[in-house]
């Protein structure tokens, strides 16, 4: 088996790309990049009163990512801030920041630096089209709005949060429109991406397909 360089997993909100990326990283012992969390970190530090231009250095030197059995945890100076990053307030701010060229440019090199000799699985919205155009294997994971809303509903319920299905559907539809129509790095599959519609699949089904793609590409 050839050494895996970069596997990109792009897709819309709540498509399951984060779960897939974590499992593939564990199975093949790869480094992992959750690019969405970097924008959430930007939002978090701005809320903490830190200057926008100082944030990239903080992310480079004081942030650590750790895969657990069921999650990807993020620590700042050894303090786990994962749950704080997942608040709705931070999510909204992160979405706003993702449309700023200054932020996207600052994060480009940071994201590229996640690649190590171990190889990397990178999860986001423009990993295969912008950040890792040179990736050997690109996956675009999607599902219907209704299926994605249901997944998000169950996820938020598990965290003990109050959720409303119609509101979730409206939110996902709005995010889809914003992500796909923005001028900078719009959400779309790379020309050479393998598109997987997981609407009628379990996570295990998607993992199996992805493992087969990896074997085809690297064996």
For residue 215, tell me if it sits in a domain: no
For residue 1, tell me if it sits in a domain: no
For residue 219, tell me if it sits in a domain: no
Three-state secondary structure call for residue 87: coil
Phi and psi at 116, nearest 5°, equal -130, 180
For residue 216, tell me if it sits in a domain: no
For residue 218, tell me if it sits in a domain: no
For residue 200, tell me if it sits in a domain: yes
Q: Provide the residue range defining the domain that includes 54.
A: 6-210
Considering the entire predicted model, what is its pTM? 0.92
| pLDDT at res. 184 | 84
| Beta carbons within 8 Å of 175's beta carbon, 6+ residues apart | 12, 13, 95
Q: How far apart are CA 103 and CA 101, in angstroms?
A: 5
CB 187 within 8 A of CB 179: yes
For residue 178, tell me if it sits in a domain: yes
User: Which string of DSSP letters, residue by residue, matches 95-120?
Assistant: HHHTT-HHHHHHHHHHHHTT--TT-E
| Beta carbons within 8 Å of 30's beta carbon, 6+ residues apart | 4, 7, 24, 118, 119, 120, 121
For residue 27, tell me if it sits in a domain: yes
Domain count, the chain: 1
| pLDDT at res. 137 | 96
| CATH code at position 10 | 3.40.50.300
Tens of pLDDT, residue by residue, the chain (219 residues): 566 799 999 999 999 999 999 999 999 999 999 999 999 999 999 999 999 999 999 999 999 999 987 789 999 998 999 999 988 789 889 988 988 999 999 999 999 999 988 899 999 999 999 999 999 999 999 999 999 999 989 988 887 888 899 999 998 999 899 889 888 889 999 999 999 999 999 999 999 999 999 999 886
């Amino acid at each position: 088996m050839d050494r895996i360089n970069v596997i990109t997993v792009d897709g819309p909100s709540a498509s399951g790309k984060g779960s897939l990326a974590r499992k593939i990283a564990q199975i093949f012992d790869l480094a992992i990049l959750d690019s969405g969390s970097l924008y959430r970190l930007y939002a978090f530090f701005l809320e903490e009163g830190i200057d926008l231009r100082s944030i990239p250095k903080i992310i480079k030197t004081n942030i650590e990512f750790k895969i657990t059995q069921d999650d990807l945890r993020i620590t700042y100076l050894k303090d786990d801030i994962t749950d704080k990053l997942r608040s709705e307030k931070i999510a909204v701010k992160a979405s706003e920041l993702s449309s700023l060229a200054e932020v996207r440019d600052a994060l480009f090199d940071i994201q590229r630096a996640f690649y190590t000799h171990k190889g990397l699985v990178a999860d986001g919205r423009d990993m295969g089209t912008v950040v890792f155009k040179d990736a050997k294997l690109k996956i675009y994971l999607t599902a219907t709005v209704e299926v994605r809303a249901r997944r998000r509903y169950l996820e938020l319920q598990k965290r003990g949060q109050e959720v409303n299905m119609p509101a979730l559907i409206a939110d996902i539809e709005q995010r889809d429109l914003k992500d796909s129509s923005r001028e900078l790095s719009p959400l779309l599959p790379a020309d050479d991406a393998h598109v997987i519609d997981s609407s009628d699949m379990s996570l295990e089904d998607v993992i199996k397909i992805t493992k087969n793609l990896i074997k085809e590409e690297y064996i």
